[in-house]
């Protein structure tokens, strides 16, 4: 069996086993780990993280993080309800915390647990930039990207075991496994991750607009991110994320559509 055939089988298996629908895109997604199991585990890990890190409370920045995050979550609920997905967020338990850390990062766990590192706030440069960051991270949680990544990883492992059984060649097994690992990582897993990032950019842009924040600020945020990084990044094909240039171009192209979507919810002016 050729490596290419195994990779194709891996992709087909992922499609066949898809059993959830992304309400924002209508696409079928992999969901081998149900949210009923995933969310409690994520909540526990989040609580553990907070005990091990310095959480900033009671400051203007901490208040801003919680306020902007909640506005994005409300915008998501409005959009979901308007598009026939009432109750989609019933198991989400939103929480937003600012952590004292110079790392330029923010993230959201399955089920709505969000962390913003203080190091990203200067690049956010205010509420609108922070809304672009939180819109993106919250979109990951809403679209169940964590669930999808776990499912894809499980399928990758299953396919690797299947390859070993099918080949039955102990002499060259290590070589085959290395080739399979590289092939599936570059050909399947990394493109999958980049597509999740682009999807989160798109959903997040719409949500920030519905929440009243100017979607034009998202591209400006990534211009600042690019400047902060000094242009240092791996080639897009070897990265989990789209290149900054691709991301900025995509956000600029989508901003007018996000404004039009916001008008449906009576939002015609933006912060």
Enumerate the domain spans of the chain.
3-263
Given the residues 137, 199, 217, 261, select the one marked as catalytic: 137
β-strand 55-56 against 95-99: which pairing, if any?
Answer: antiparallel
Are residues 39 and 111 in contact, defined by beta-carbon separation less than 8 angstroms? Answer: yes
Are residues 115 and 99 in contact, defined by beta-carbon separation less than 8 angstroms? Answer: yes
Mean pLDDT of the chain: 81
Is 261 assigned a catalytic role?
Answer: no
Secondary structure percentages of the chain, helix, strand, coil, to 5:
65, 5, 25
The CATH architecture to which 3-263 belongs is 3-Layer(aba) Sandwich (3.40)
* 236 or 218, greater pLDDT: 218
3-state secondary structure of 22: coil
Average pLDDT value for residue range 41-63: 97
Radius of gyration of the chain (CA): 20
Distance CA 238, CA 190 (A): 7
Least-confidence region, from 75-79, 101-105, 242-246: 242-246
Average pLDDT value for residue range 232-236: 53
- For residue 239 the two structure tokens come to 């990265």
3-state secondary structure of 21: strand
Residues 6 or more apart whose Cβ sits within 8 Å of residue 255: 205, 215, 216, 218, 219
pTM of the model as a whole: 0.79
3-state secondary structure of 112: coil
What's the longest Cα–Cα distance across the chain?
A: 66
pLDDT for residue 227 is more than 70 = yes
CA 232 to chain centre: 22
């Amino acid at each position: 069996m050729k490596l290419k055939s195994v990779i194709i089988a891996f992709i087909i298996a992922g499609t066949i086993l898809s059993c959830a629908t992304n309400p924002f895109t209508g696409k079928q997604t992999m969901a081998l780990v149900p949210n009923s199991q995933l969310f409690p585990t994520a909540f526990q890990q989040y609580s553990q993280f907070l005990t091990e890190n310095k959480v900033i409370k009671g400051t203007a920045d901490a208040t801003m993080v919680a306020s902007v995050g909640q506005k994005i979550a409300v915008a998501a609920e409005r959009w979901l309800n308007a598009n026939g997905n009432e109750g989609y967020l019933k198991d989400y338990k939103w929480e937003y915390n600012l952590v004292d850390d110079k790392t330029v990062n923010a993230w959201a766990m399955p089920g709505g647990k969000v962390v913003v590192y203080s190091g990203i706030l200067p690049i956010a440069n205010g509420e609108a930039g922070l809304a672009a960051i939180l819109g993106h991270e919250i979109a990951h949680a809403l679209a169940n990207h964590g669930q999808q990544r776990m499912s894809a990883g499980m399928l990758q492992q299953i396919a690797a075991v299947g390859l070993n059984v099918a080949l039955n060649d102990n002499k060259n097994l290590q070589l085959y496994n290395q080739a399979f690992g590289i092939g599936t990582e570059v050909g399947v897993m990394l493109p999958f991750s980049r597509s999740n990032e682009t999807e989160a950019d798109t959903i997040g842009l719409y949500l920030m607009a519905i929440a009243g924040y100017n979607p034009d600020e998202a591209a400006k945020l990534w211009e600042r991110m690019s400047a902060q990084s000094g242009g240092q990044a791996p080639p897009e094909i070897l990265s989990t994320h789209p290149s900054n240039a691709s991301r900025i171009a995509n956000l600029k192209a989508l901003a007018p559509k996000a404004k039009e979507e916001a008008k449906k919810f009576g939002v015609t002016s933006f912060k």
